[in-house]
Amino acid sequence: MNKISLIIQREYLTRVKKRSFIVMTIIGPILMAALIIVPVYLATMTEKDQKIAVLDETGLFFERFKNTEHLSFQHVYGALDVEKEKFLNEGYYALLYIPKSEVAVPSGAMLYSDKQPNIIVKSYIQDAMKKEIESMKLEASGIDKNILESIKTKVNLVTIKMDKGGKEEKSYTEVSMMVGLFSSVLIYVFIFLFCSQVMRGVIEEKTNRIVEVIVSSVKPFQLMMGKIVGIALVGLTQLFLWVLLTLGIVFAFQVAYRDSFQLTGTQKMVTSSTPSVNPAVSGPDKADLQFNKEEVNKVFDLIRSINFGVIICCFLFYYLGGYLLYAALFAAIGSAVDNDADTQQFMMPVTIPLFFALIMAQFVINNPDGPIAFWLSIIPFTSPVIMMIRIPFGVPYGDLALSAVLLIGGFLGTTWLAARIYRTGILMYGKKVTYRELWKWISFKN
């Protein structure tokens, strides 16, 4: 046991001191934080004062386009060709041209700009024209607009999970889908990333003949286990640092640019689906306050619906279980070959189950309690990915216990199998190994 701990220590310290580990530990959180920060930052960069010239030949939209915090509209009355030249020279963001149609109600418009108009401007113009055209059609049909507005109903379907004891808890299916998919993909990536390191480490030691010196002091099984566990600890260290640094970067950005994480007036107008509030009654400040309060409460409800304790514990268990299971097989492959090119014939059957689990993830999300989800979450080769998709939706304790036991059994089985291959293959040089040869190594008795 002391020898295994020494190998673990050697593998861990050697890898965490590498420049590649330090660089990836820094770059990883920056990239993950950028996925959150960059879209918000870019949105604030595009939210600047923009003047739009409006050439309305119909005369129906003079009162419809209202100036907002960052959008201002100015009506022009020249010919189209003249105004197209003028708006470029006079600093306008775009020229909105509404042609006069043969029918009473226009069916479209054209937006000229020297650059691609952003989605906020386009959506605001489309929404304003749509409301005016609908009002004209309703008036022409003799339908009271107020009556039509009064019958519009928004159905808010709240899902509540109730256990056998009668305890009720609000749940969010969309959040469970996102958490399950994200954690399963993360496990898939980490298993492949660090199992590949195990295989390459074995190949490197074998080709450099260092392993001949090492196995003179330790048993091949001890060497294999020390390498697998040491790299597993490296993976956990990097994962912990990624999470910690990513949260730190995002939090620091939120503190430094607090206003960037709040919707501006124009963005609220486009993205908000809540009913408009009469300014004469509530005032815009009160409406914005109510909107923000509802959104903040919803965010907190979404966060509270995630059982972080269960998710984190299960993630660590299935990451370690899946990694140990596949790392043993990757170590066996590395011991059987002399270079990376020869690993392809053995990699395919080993990686197919894990890749298949990722493909089946979309079917499991649609029916997390179905027979496909059950069996794939029980089979050790697919359970690390599939079970992490099911857990946010709620998994019976029996299924979870059975999956955990079989995963541990699968790890022990693959470790025994890999050890039989490793003890012979680690000292085998210059020979193309076949599946028949591997079977001989497995069935060979001391």
3-state SS string for 195-254: HHHHHHHHHHHHHCCHHHHHCCCCCHHHHHHHHHHHHHHHHHHHHHHHHHHHHHHHHHHH
How much is the CA Rg of the chain, to the nearest whole Å? 31
Q: What is the structure's pLDDT at 174?
A: 75
User: What confidence tens digit (pLDDT) does each residue in 330-350 have?
Assistant: 988 888 887 777 777 788 888
Which two three-digit tokens encode residue 292? 């923000």
CA distance 355 to 37: 31
Residues 268-280 as b/e (b if ≥16 CB within 10 A, e otherwise) read bbbeeeeeeeeee
What is the residue whose two structure tokens read 């004062």? 49
Would you write out the chain's pLDDT as a tens digit for each of its 446 residues?
A: 677 888 888 888 888 888 888 888 888 888 878 877 776 666 555 555 678 888 888 877 777 788 877 788 888 888 888 888 787 777 788 888 888 776 666 667 888 887 777 777 888 888 888 887 888 777 777 777 777 777 777 776 666 666 666 666 666 677 778 888 888 888 998 888 888 888 888 887 777 777 766 767 777 778 888 888 888 888 888 888 888 888 888 788 777 766 555 544 444 444 443 334 343 333 444 444 444 455 545 555 555 666 777 888 898 899 999 998 999 889 888 888 877 777 777 888 888 998 999 899 888 888 888 889 999 999 999 999 999 998 888 888 899 999 999 999 998 888 888 888 887 777 777 677 777 878 887 777 65
- In sequence order, the β-bridge partners of residue 72 are 51
Q: What is the structure's pLDDT at 271?
A: 44
- Residue 21 sits at φ, ψ, to 5 deg, of -65, -45
CA distance 86 to 273: 37
C-alpha distances in Å from residue 248, one per residue of 38, 44, 241, 242, 327: 16, 21, 10, 10, 31
Sequence-distant (6+) residues with CB within 8 A of 242 are: 25, 28, 29, 32
In the DSSP assignment, the letter for residue 260 is: G
What is the residue whose two structure tokens read 């949260």? 247
Q: What is the structure's pLDDT at 103?
A: 60
Q: What is the structure's pLDDT at 384?
A: 92
The helix/strand/coil state of 47 is coil
Q: What is the structure's pLDDT at 385?
A: 92
The H or E element spanning position 50 is strand 50-56
Q: What is the structure's pLDDT at 301?
A: 58
Q: What is the structure's pLDDT at 383?
A: 93
Taking alpha carbons only, the member of 14, 12, 7 closest to residue 234 is 12
Taking alpha carbons only, the member of 445, 2, 419 closest to residue 217 is 2
Taking alpha carbons only, the member of 305, 321, 301 closest to residue 313 is 321
Q: What is the structure's pLDDT at 164?
A: 67
Q: What is the structure's pLDDT at 223?
A: 80
Q: What is the structure's pLDDT at 340?
A: 73
Which two three-digit tokens encode residue 80? 């189209």
Q: What is the structure's pLDDT at 45?
A: 58
Q: What is the structure's pLDDT at 36?
A: 73
What is the separation of C-alpha 125 from the centre of its chain, rounded to a whole number of angstroms? 32
- Residue 244 sits at φ, ψ, to 5 deg, of -65, -45
Contact criterion met (CB below 8 Å) for 94 and 113: yes
CA distance 231 to 277: 58
The helix/strand/coil state of 400 is helix
Q: What is the structure's pLDDT at 105?
A: 65
Strands of 57-200, DSSP E: 71-75, 94-98, 110-112, 159-162, 168-171
Q: Which domains does the chain have, with CATH numbers?
A: 49-136 (3.40.190.10), 184-260+305-443 (no CATH)
Which amino acid belongs to residue 205? Answer: E
Which two three-digit tokens encode residue 186? 């993360």
Sign of the Cα pseudo-torsion (211, 213, 216, 218, in order): negative
In the DSSP assignment, the letter for residue 375 is: H
Sequence-distant (6+) residues with CB within 8 A of 106 are: 58, 60, 98, 99, 100, 133
Q: What is the structure's pLDDT at 276?
A: 40
Residues 408-431 as b/e (b if ≥16 CB within 10 A, e otherwise) read eebbeebbeebbbbbbbbbebeee
- Residue 91 sits at φ, ψ, to 5 deg, of 80, 15
- In sequence order, the β-bridge partners of residue 88 are none
Q: What is the structure's pLDDT at 177?
A: 82
DSSP assignments along 7-31, one per residue: HHHHHHHHHHTSHHHHHHHHHHHHH
